Structure 1
């Protein structure tokens, strides 16, 4: 598995970044803390909250005298790192090789880890990419002698550079080149799928939609787990939608309906796909029918799912725009601005649309405020460049 044949011309998986070893963190975080911590890289609340608690300075685990694999459930495996592929990590435990699937791992730790790298991993999990980058920059790569740690350092540097470019702004082309360089050197890394998603996100932000689909496609084609595949197909569909290939995007979204809904996460992704289908159908057919479908989904779904509801209201706003109902569209996008502002990508889209809709209803001051917030908070978003 590699990207050696792919090129960017200079250029949620995030949902499986490895977490902290603290096992009771969710109990120690308030619901508000869990929501705020769990947005920027797509982890489940319980895992990300662990990283949040680490950053609060609560008691942690003593420095390891061995390599460690922290599984999603159970105690860490202590031993010696043997190797990895994009789908599994092998660690020697008491003389026996143990293989652990990547989607069952919170994080890895190595006995020679620099303290700054440990801190950076925790800060990434909390979504604080700038602080993570600050920690990583303190490390002299020449002082790192173990290849796997040097590889991990390169990955986190590229990840932070990419996420910062996508959020606060920066050179997205350079960030993509950094991540592509990592993948070319470490095509068998357990970070492969996260790297692929980051490359896809950067390609979307650069308007290179075919390249984005290629990177996301590496995940959907190679990941053996249904939720990973579904997430990647969803990203492919959104890239198609961004390039206004609504018929192609609808097919991708619709393909997810046939997946056996064996878990709550798969069911949730199918609801997100329904939102995508309705939004595409508004562009290719009847917006009124799509409005009815989305309103029904909103009425019947769990309102605590901020991503689902944020995307549903954005889709509703798009449908109203297609139906030439700007005031109704404005109200839909306002739902996102008021209630789901902790979803960066979704909030950025809503702010972009509000900056135009406020002008249409002669509220210039509010249009300017929406545009300023978009530029200030999401300077790296593709919506800020429109």
Structure 2
């Protein structure tokens, strides 16, 4: 009798305990996921649970609220469970310190990563850092391209996908493969943000210029310049397109037109925009060359090399032109020095 009473008194407790434990585990899982932090390009960070990613958006949950954030509007995401190597490596990559980024990312043990999305993020920043070093002439471009193509193929639902496509296009252009550059830059026209769509047109213009089709390049640059832009990033792309258009004018022997255009860009240069400055002064140098002003061209290219050498492709172009121009003003030794520096820094460079 005592045994029966004991069993009847305690049987209801077992289902209750199961429910209690299940609820506790669910609450822990929710708290775990809610600690993801999405950093948009503008505005305050968003603390939420990342529940889905696609190339176009990141879906998050905050309590009973669901939200989709355009992938083109996201700077970075910090995930709950990120290992220190990824946290540090991501920041170094975003800051342009790619060698340090790879050192920290190498500390990550892939098999120990607690979430698939964290593994995907780690894989992207490894490929991205390697690609940027390759574009700077400090790593193999073909290997970097293969690595980023593998990422894009294996992670088609990554919010990094359009960023990967852009980098693949950059590497294709650097390797002289303009057909692949057109393909990957064209993909950006399907991207969710207006800035990425405008960027697609600008980059397609660069690919046409590299392919020697100056007329088509000019048409793309003029499209960008003609857009009624609504944001600072879009306005910046317009200025880059103006610098590129000025360089195209030099190819058409319209130096006065090119110099007038690039002077307007130089007059509005910001103190921290290295890429814009380097491209503007290189365009100025190209137009001085077109006009027959060798000394003016040398000064413009020196401006790029001495002040904006961290923009590696522009620096390599400036050095290649200095190597050709210095002898024309009676300084072959400086030409030799420029040529040696070009070989040392950018061994794979092709003008």
Partner of 2:278, secondary structure, is helix
Partner of 2:192, secondary structure, is coil
Deviation at 1:182, TM superposition (A): 0.9
> 5 Å matches for 1:83-94?
83-94=52-63
Deviation at 1:160, TM superposition (A): 1.7
* Residue 285 to residue 109, structure 1, CA distance change in 2 (3 Å): same
Q: 2:280 aligns with which of 299, 306, 312?
A: 312
Q: Which residue is 1:138 aligned to?
A: 107
Q: Which residue is 1:237 aligned to?
A: 205
CA contact (8 A) 2:34 2:49 kept: no
Q: Which residue is 1:177 aligned to?
A: 146
Aligned partners of 1:166 and 1:264: how far apart in 2?
26
Q: 2:73 aligns with which of 82, 90, 104?
A: 104
Q: Which residue is 2:334 aligned to?
A: 366
CA contact (8 A) 2:70 2:192 kept: no
Deviation at 1:303, TM superposition (A): 5.4
Aligned partners of 2:76 and 2:265: how far apart in 1?
35
Partner of 1:317, secondary structure, is helix
Q: 2:311 aligns with which of 343, 368, 374?
A: 343
Partner of 1:68, secondary structure, is strand
Partner of 1:106, secondary structure, is strand
Q: Which residue is 1:44 aligned to?
A: none
Aligned partners of 1:126 and 1:303: how far apart in 2?
18
> 5 Å matches for 1:7-18?
none
CA contact (8 A) 2:135 2:141 kept: yes
Deviation at 1:315, TM superposition (A): 1.1
Q: Which residue is 1:291 aligned to?
A: 259
Task: Please list the CA deviations of residues 360-385 of structure 1 after superposition, one character each: whole Å capped at 9, or x if unmatched.
Answer: 32322222322333334444xx6x34
Deviation at 1:142, TM superposition (A): 2.0
Q: 1:260 aligns with which of 215, 228, 233?
A: 228
Task: Give the number of the structure with larger relative contact order, counting CA–CA contacts within 8 Å between residues 6 or more apart.
Answer: 1
Aligned partners of 2:191 and 2:34: how far apart in 1?
32
- 1:328 is the counterpart of 2:296: yes
Bigger radius of gyration:
2
CA contact (8 A) 1:247 1:284 kept: no
Aligned partners of 2:277 and 2:118: how far apart in 1?
40
CA contact (8 A) 2:281 2:300 kept: yes
Cα RMSD, aligned residues only:
2.3
Aligned partners of 1:142 and 1:83: how far apart in 2?
22
Q: 1:209 aligns with which of 139, 156, 178?
A: 178
Deviation at 1:249, TM superposition (A): 0.5
Aligned partners of 2:320 and 2:341: how far apart in 1?
10
Give me the TM-score of the superposition, normalised by structure 2.
0.83
CA contact (8 A) 1:240 1:249 kept: yes
Q: Which runs of 5+ in 2 are unaligned?
A: 1-31
Deviation at 1:268, TM superposition (A): 3.0
Q: Which residue is 1:147 aligned to?
A: 116
How many residues are paired up?
319
* Residue 170 to residue 272, structure 1, CA distance change in 2 (3 Å): closer
Moved more, 306-315 or 158-167: 306-315
Q: Which residue is 2:128 aligned to?
A: 159
| TM superposition outliers: structure 1 runs of 4+ over 6 Å | none
- 1:115 is the counterpart of 2:69: no
Q: Which residue is 2:219 aligned to?
A: 251
CA contact (8 A) 1:77 1:93 kept: no
